[in-house]
Structures are given as C-alpha cells and as structure tokens.
Amino acid sequence: MEKTLPAIPAKRYFTIGEVGELCGVKPHVLRYWEQEFTQLRPMKRRGNRRYYQHHEVLMIRRIRDLLYDQGFTISGARNKMQELLQTERDKRRNGEVMLEGVEVVEMDGPDADDFGDEAIATTQSGTNQQLLQVRLELFAIRELLTQGLD
C-alpha cells in the first residue's frame, strides 16, 4: 500500500476531510483512531467539528504507516506510539532538539561572530546559513509551544 502522500500545507488548522486527504484515510477511520490512540486529540469547536494541527497530521501519518505499511495491530501501534512519544520526551528533557535533515555543527572564524557562540545548523549542501539560523529559531519556538501541550 505504498502510496505517496501529498505535502502538508503551511496552515494552522485542518478539517477532518483535509486530514483524510493528506493522510490517505477516510474520516470515519480518523474518528476511530481518536478512540484508540489517546495521544490524538484534535480541537473541537462548534457542533463538535474537529480541527487538527500540524503535529497531529504528522502523528496520523505515523499511525497510518505503522498500521498499513509496517503491519502493526492497533494494540501494537498504540504501544509503538507510546514508545516513540516517550523517546521524544526523553530527548527534549536531555536538551536534544530534533531537527529532521539538519546536522548541527560548531562554527569557527568570522562567520561565527554574526551568530554568537551557539551552534549553527548547516545542511550537507551548505545552504545559506542565515536561512538555517531562522529555521533553528522556528524549531526552538515549536519546541517551546509543544512543551506547553504536554
């Protein structure tokens, strides 16, 4: 069932129909998964309408992968999700910031003065360091916001 999923647009909230299309599952499946995976708690507004945030869309994609692609049972996927979330919490507690696809390196020389003494992220291709600094700051902001949800 290897199907390429569409990119997740840069918006704050997604309806259940949008999430279904982004994750390749039907809305009734999403409602069922809410009952089975306690970590999945979309915001509900007027008339019990569900609104999912970006991190919940990623979580649903992870659940979908476990169930459909890796062959986990609901119970096995629930346990695996608990493990993954505990690992992420432990990394956060230890001060590790998870930057997918980004390697953190120490900078020396005149370029380091522009950014202070902190580590600067750089990709393997050496992308513009100012853009990467902004990305680091955005990840740090996201971490602060997600800590408030725990």
Provide the residue-wise pLDDT of the chain in tens; the chain has 150 residues.
456 889 999 999 999 999 999 999 999 999 999 999 998 999 999 888 999 999 999 999 999 999 999 999 999 999 999 998 888 888 878 776 555 544 444 444 444 444 443 444 444 344 466 677 777 788 778 777 777 665
In the chain, the domains with their CATH numbers are 1-94 (1.10.1660.10), 97-150 (no CATH)
DSSP-derived 3-state class of residue 148: coil
Prediction pTM value: 0.61
Query: Position of tokens 């955005």?
Result: 138
Query: Position of tokens 């704050």?
Result: 12
Rounded Cα distance between 97 and 95, Å, is 6
- Residue 67: exposure state from Cβ atoms within 10 A (0-12, 13-18, ≥19): buried
Please name every residue paired with 52 in a beta bridge, in sequence order, or none if there are none.
Answer: 14
Rounded Cα distance between 37 and 28, Å, is 14
> In degrees, to the nearest 5, what angle opens at C-alpha 68 toward C-alphas 63 and 69?
100
Read off the DSSP letter of residue 6.
P
Token reading at 148: 């408030």
Do 12 and 53 touch, CB atoms closer than 8 A?
yes
Per-residue pLDDT at 149: 62
